[in-house]
Structure 1
Amino acid sequence: MLFMIAISCSGCTDGSAYRSGSPDESGSLSSTTKLKILYATVEAGSEAVVNAAENYEKQTGIGVEVSTFPYNSLQEKVFTELSRMSSEYDLIAVDTPWMPKIIQHLEPMTPFIRQAASTADLDDFIAKLFLDSSVFDKDMPQRAPLGMDTINLDRITAAGFDVWSLPIQSNVLTVSYRKDLFQNEANRAAFKKRFKRELSIPTTMDEYKDIAQFFTRDTNHDGTIDMYGTTLMAGKHEAGFVDYKSFLSVFGGKLFDEKLNPVFNSESGVKALETYGSWILKDKVTPADVLTYTWDEVEIAFGFGQAAMGMNVHDMNLHPNLQGGQVGYFMLPGVKNGDTLVRGPHFGSWGLAINKYSEHKEAAYELADYLTSADVQRDYLRFRQHVTRKSAYAAAKAVLDESLREYYEVLGRSLSVGVGRPRIKNYDQVSETVQTAVQQYLTGKKDARTALDEAAAKVDQLMRESGY
C-alpha cells in the first residue's frame, strides 16, 4: 500500500494531492478557508497522514488540504515558500537538518502547547527523538538541547529553547534479516561447526561480519556467488553518509566536537571507514555493485533474496516469489568498549512546524496536535508509520503481524540510542564532503586517513564560511 502511494505522489510536483472544503471554525476560519499542509510523500508516511487529515475534517468540519512532494522537490518548495514569506501553507513538514536554515521563518509552538489541554502529553513522545527534532534555540540553532528522559517544557524554556515542531515520523538505521535462513537447521549446524557458537542475532560488528561471511555463497553451485551476507548503502549519496555516520558512532567517533570543529578524521573515524570498506573490498560480503547502492537499491537487493541481511532506515520485505522466506529485524550492532557495548545508529525525524506567515496559526497548531496525538498515532500503526510516541510503541506490541510487531520493537529501542545529525546550516555541504571522502577510499583513489583528513580540512573551511 505504501508503495502505491509513493508512485502516485511522486508526480505531485504541482502540490496536488488531497483537497476538501471547509466550514466555519468558531469564527477563526471562513467558510471557504482550508488549512493547508506542505508534506512529503512515502518517506514521511504520507498515506497515514492524508487519512488522518480526512478524519480530522470529518470530526471537526474544518477543511484540510495536504500537498505532497518527493523529498528533493519538497525541500526546494519549503525553502522557496518561506523565503518569499508566503502564507500559502499553514503547516510544513520539516526534516531535522532543514531547521537551522528555516527556523527564523517558523512560529514557536511553546505558547500554543502551554495553552492546549494536551500539554501533559508531551511526556509521551520519545524524549531523545523529540529533543533532536523539535527543540531548538532560535538564535543559536546549533546548540544541543538538554538531555532528559521525559520532556519537561519548563526546563526547555528555562534553558533558552523553544519547541518548533511536533514529531510525526521517525527514521533510524536498523537491520532486516532472513529469519528463515537463520532458523534453518543445516545453516545452524554449519555455522556452529565453523565459528564455534550458535547462529543468532549479532550484537557486535565482528559477529555481524562473521554471519555475513557465512551467508555469502554460491547457492546454485554454478561457480558464481549469488547470495551475499549483507547489503550496504555505499553509493555517493546521503544514504552513504548515513552508513558511514553510523559506523563512526559505534566506533566511538563523532562528526564534530562541542565547538563544531570536525573530528571525524580521528582514529575512530579512520577505523570506522576501514572497517566499512573491508566488508566491501576485502571480505566481499556485499553485492558487487554495492558502490551504487542507496536505500532503494538495498531494498531491491534484499527483497529479491540477494542478501541475508540488509541495513536501511525502514523495514524491508521479500518478493512474493521467495516462498518460505521470513523477515526479522534487529538493532544495528555495536562495538565493545571495555564492558560497554557502544551503539549509534543514525536517526532523524520529520516534524510538523507552523509557518510564521500563516494567517491561521492557532488552528494550524490544533491540527498538528491532532496529527501527532496518541490516539491518531496508534491508528498510524496499520499504515506501518514510524510513530514517535511511547504509547504507540506500546500499542504495537499487540499488532497481529509477527514481523511488523518485531520491527516496531526494534525501531523503538533503536530510537532510544540513535545519533542525530549535526545542527548546522550547511549540513548538505558537510554531508557531500564526507560522501566524497568515503567514495575516494572505496574506489582506491586515497587511503582512509588521507581521504578523511582532506575532507575534515574542507569541512573546517566550510564551517568558517558559514560563520561557525
Structure 2
Amino acid sequence: MQKKIICTMITTALVMSLFTGCGTKESGSNTNTAKKDDYITVLVQGGSPAFEATQKTADAFKEQTGYEVKVESVPYTGVYDKLKADITASTGAYDVATIDILWMAEFAQGLLPIDDLMTDEVVNDLMPGMLAGGQIDDVNYGMPVWTNCKILMYRTDLFEDPDEMAAFKSEYGYELAPPTTWQEYRDVAKFFTRDTNGDGETDLYGTGIFGKTDGDTACCWLEESVQAGARPVVLGDDGEVLVNQKPYVDALTFLSDIVNEDKSCPPGAMEMASGEVSEMFYQGNLAMMLNWGHFYLAANNPETSKVAGKVATAPHLSGSAGVGAIPGPWYQVIPESSKKQEIAKEYVKFMYDNNELIMQNLGTAARKSLFEEYGKKEGYEFLADIQATLDGPATQNRAPIVEWNLIETEALVPAIQQALLKEKTPQEALDDAAEMIKDLLN
C-alpha cells in the first residue's frame, strides 16, 4: 500500500511539473517552482515513530507539493518546551508539531483549528476517544497520529504449564488463566512470586507496579480508578475535585496492597515506571505486567527479550465499572503563528494518509482500518486487546485542562508514592492531593 501511495504521489508530481507556474504556494507548488523558503518545519520527539515516519515521507511530500520537510527532533520534554516558547512568543518557528494529549488543553489557544480536515471519512476511521482528545470546546486542533493503552502481557510458559495450573487450582480453587478482575490479578501475582533457584532470594515476581516520579505512575493508578467507577477523571463537570472519593481510594488501596501486603512486585517500585517494569519482564523476572500495548513487539523479539515466543496478551483488567484504561494518544497540530498554514494543513492530511508508517514503526496507529488490517498479521495479535480495552466501558481520557501537568506532578504522583511507601493511608494521601489540586486550580 505504501509503495502504491508513493508511486501515485510521484506520478502526480511529474504531471504537475508540465504545468510550471500553475501552482501557488498556498495550494501546493512543484519542485520546479519551489523557492528557497518553500519548506515547512516539523517539530517531533527524536527517535519516536513520528520522527521515523516524518523522515520516510519527506521526499514523497516534496514531490507532491514542492515543499521540503525540515525536521527538528528533540527529547520528549523538549517538544513541550520548544512549542510552548514558540506559541508564547508567536515566532512562527514551527509549522507542524507532534504532541502528547497531555499538552492539548494548554496549547489550544495558540493552535490553528483544523475542523475542515476532519471529514466524515477521517472521523469514521479513527480509534475510539481519539477525536475527543484532539478537541477543546468542540473545536478540532489535533489530527490523531497514534493511540495506545496498557494491556495485560503474560508468560505462556508459566500460565500454560500443567504443573502450575494444577498447583494454582489446588491453592485458589479455580483455573489458572490470564486475570480479568482485580482479585484474580492479586491471586496470580502472589502465586507466581517465588524463589526459583533455591538461593533464598525471590527472583520471580508476579507483576510490577509503577511508583516512579513519572506520568506513567499517575496513569497506572487512574486506570484502576476508572475501572472502579471514577467518572469523569479527577475533576467533575462542575469543577469539583474527585480524587479522594471511593473509586480513587479503592484503586490506590489495590496497588498499595500488591506492594506492601502481598509483596508480589519487585522491591524498588518507587524507581519503576513502564520502561523499568518492561525490562524486568523481558529478562524473565515477572510473570505478567500491565503495560503499553506496543511493548509486546519487544517482548517477543529474541534480540530484546529472554522470554520471546512465550508472551501473549489480554485486555486490561475489569473492575466494578468494567474494562477500562487511560489512552495515550498523540496528535499533529499547527501553531497559529505558522506563516505557511495551508501547506501545513496539507502536510497534516498527508501524514494521516500515510498513517501506516506509524503502525509499522510503533505497532499501533490512529486508524481503525489499520488496526483491523494489521491485527490479522502474525506478530500483531496484541492489537485486538488494545481495541477491546479502548472500547471498554470505563475507558476515558484525562481531564482536558491547562493545569493537568501540574496536577499530575504536584498532587497525584506524590499521593500515590506516599501510599505505596505507607507514609499515609490511601485516603489521607488523596485527601491531601485534593486540597493541593484546589490550590493549583485557584
Normalising by structure 2, what TM-score? 0.86
1:236 to 213, 216, 223: 213
Match of 1:224, SS state, is: coil
For residue 122 of structure 1, report the CA deviation from its aligned partner.
2.2
- One of 183, 191, 216 as aligned partner of 2:193: 216
2:347 maps to: 367
- What is the CA distance between 1:125 and its match in structure 2? 1.0
Which residue does the alignment assign to 1:90? 95
* Residues 1:136 and 2:136 aligned together: yes
| Aligned partners of 1:248 and 1:264 also within 8 Å | no
- Distance in 1 between the 2:371 and 2:22 partners? 33
**Aligned pairs for 1:165-180 within 5 A:** 165-180=142-157
Deviates more, 1:272-281 or 1:89-98: 89-98
Secondary structure class of the residue paired with 1:400: coil
Between the aligned partners of 1:62 and 1:460, the Cα distance in structure 2 is 47
Aligned partner letter, 1:412: Q
Which among 332, 339, 350 is matched to residue 352 of structure 1? 332
- Secondary structure, counterpart of 1:199 in structure 2: coil
Structure 2, unmatched stretches of 5+, are 1-19
Between the aligned partners of 1:416 and 1:173, the Cα distance in structure 2 is: 13
Deviates more, 1:434-443 or 1:58-67: 58-67
Structure 2 residue 385 is the aligned partner of structure 1 residue 410: yes
1:185 aligns with 2:190: no
Looking at structure 1, the residues matched to 307 and 275 of structure 2 have their Cα atoms a distance apart, in angstroms, of: 22
2:24 to 23, 27, 31: 27
1:198 matched to 2:175? The reply is: yes
Aligned amino acid, residue 390 of structure 2: L
For structure 1, list consecutive stretches of 5 or more residues without a partner in the other structure.
1-22, 138-160
Mapped to 1, the partners of 2:307 and 2:386 lie a distance apart of 26
Give yes or no for contact 1:265–1:453 (8 Å, CA) kept in 2. Answer: yes
Q: Are residues 1:63 and 2:68 paired?
A: yes
The reply to whether residue 423 of structure 1 matches residue 400 of structure 2 is yes
Cα separation, partners in 2 of 1:99 and 1:323, compared to 1, 3 Å: closer
Give the letter aligned to residue 31 of structure 1: K
* Counterparts of 2:229 and 2:142, CA distance in 1: 30
Query: Cα–Cα, structure 1 residues 239 and 324, in superposed 2: closer, same or farther, change >3 Å?
Result: closer
| Distance (whole Å) between structure 1 residues aligned to residue 65 and residue 21 of structure 2 | 10
Q: Deviations over 1:182-205 (max 9, x none)?
A: 222222222222222222122111
1:226 aligns with 2:203: yes
1:441 aligns with 2:425: no
Match of 1:142 in 2: none
Identity of matched residues, %: 24
Tell me what 1:19 maps to.
none
Moved more, 34-43 or 223-232: 34-43
Is the contact made by 1:129 and 1:348 (CA closer than 8 Å) also made in structure 2?
no
Shift of 1:398: 2.9
SS of match in other structure, 1:200: coil
* CA shift in 2, pair 1:54/1:182, >3 Å: farther
Root mean square deviation of aligned Cα: 2.1
State the shift of 1:399 in Å.
Answer: 1.8
Paired residue secondary structure (2:317): coil
Partners of 1:25 and 1:198 in 2: CA distance: 70
Contact preservation (8 Å) 1:229, 1:286? yes
